[in-house]
Amino acid sequence: MKKILQLSFGILFLSSYFYAQEKIESDFINSKDAKIYLAGHDGLVGAAIMRKLRDDGYTNIVTRELHELNLLNQAATRKFFEEERPDYVFLAAAKVGGIVANNTYPAQFIYENMMIEANIIHAAHEYGVKKLMFLGSSCIYPRLCPQPMKEEYLLTSELEKTNEAYAIAKIAGLKLCEYYKKQYGDNFISCMPTNLYGPGDNFDVKAGHVLPALMMKMHTAKVEGKDHVVLWGTGSVYREFLYVDDVADAIVFLMKHYNGATHINVGTGKDLTIRELAELVKEIVGFEGALVFDVTKPDGTPKKLLDVSKLCALGWRNKVELRQGIKQMYEWFLNHQHELRK
């Protein structure tokens, strides 16, 4: 009799647990008028999340410009949450940059990212946000990480020095989500996207990421009739790239279908060398000069390929292949010359 009672309680407990998990998911899927705070809405990723949410029929999306709400300010962030009381939060605001910016401004990268994350995540906890998605980055994994990089390889050896400050801040962010879930039961999740690119990217050759910087350099060289462009590093390191509308699709998918306690990788599972990438951009841009690699400049981590089996097992895969994505990005670049972030 005792055993039957224990078994019934067990079944009851398990079904209510799964019901609760399911309920949280269906809440986001079905509540198209729930209040969603999209932090970093005008950034590369934030703008793509906005497009995806609107396409999916979400109507109540709250945003703030930097001059209205500086997320480095804890009191202002708290006041915003107190007034707006969002149900869901996408945390896509961050200080972001390429290898040169990361290497040159490490203090700003660690300070600003840690402040933004801590301010938003703590306010989301205080004001009862139902679910929050934090965006990290694949640079959280060790410099010489076994490839492809599985989620569990986090903190198993030293980080890449050129982006250590940014990586430490991002690790702190995913751990904040993990610990708030563990201690308070908050449904805060995090994903780690690979290198992203697409419309709205930062084309500044010093501050931006490798793909937009390559595009800008080659386009300028083509327009100015130069016979070569100089690129940082040896060109032999491997990188993975994901189109920004694909990452937004994955982020919204995870908000609907993932409640796990640990972070989850978002990528394509395929990589190529920087030299191969540069050749592809050169072809799409139509630059006919030579590519010169400045080997005195750092390369960064030798290989960074995410293991995306966890995400694939949930049923998500990228749709836009690299060549198609770069073509779409270049078309956008040509049509938005007056509003490029440079």
Q: In the complex, which residues of this chain contact ligand NAP (CB under 6 A)?
A: 40, 42-46, 66, 70-72, 92-96, 116, 135, 137, 193, 195-196, 202, 209
**Which of 139, 125, 57 has the alpha carbon at shortest distance from 91?**
125
Task: Give the C-alpha separation, 324 to 244, whole Å.
Answer: 12
- Note the Cα 184 to chain centre separation in Å: 25
Task: Give the C-alpha separation, 16 to 26, whole Å.
Answer: 15
Cβ proximity to ligand NAP, 70 vs 259, nearer residue: 70
Cβ proximity to ligand NAP, 167 vs 218, nearer residue: 167
Cβ proximity to ligand NAP, 72 vs 280, nearer residue: 72
What stretch of H or E contains 181?
A: helix 164-184
Helix (H, G, I), strand (E, B) or coil at 206: coil
Q: How far is the CB of 133 from ligand NAP (least distance, A)?
A: 10
Which backbone phi and psi does 86 adopt, to 5 degrees?
Answer: -65, 150
Task: Give the C-alpha separation, 157 to 69, whole Å.
Answer: 37
**Residue 148, preceding bond cis, omega within 30 degrees?**
yes
Identity at 217, one-letter amino acid code:
K
Q: How far is the CB of 128 from ligand NAP (least distance, A)?
A: 22
Cβ proximity to ligand NAP, 180 vs 243, nearer residue: 243
Q: How far is the CB of 60 from ligand NAP (least distance, A)?
A: 20
**What percent helix, strand, coil does the chain show, rounded to 5?**
50, 15, 35
User: 276-287: b or e for each residue (b if 16 or more CB lie within 10 Å)?
Assistant: ebbebbbebbeb
Instruction: Work out the end-to-end distance of the chain between its first and last CA atoms, rounded to an integer number of angstroms.
Output: 73
Q: Choosing from 58, 141, 166, 243, which is the catalytic residue? A: 166
Q: How far is the CB of 190 from ligand NAP (least distance, A)?
A: 10
**Annotation marks residue 58 as catalytic:** no
Q: How far is the CB of 20 from ligand NAP (least distance, A)?
A: 29
Cβ proximity to ligand NAP, 190 vs 221, nearer residue: 190
Q: Which residues are catalytic?
A: 166
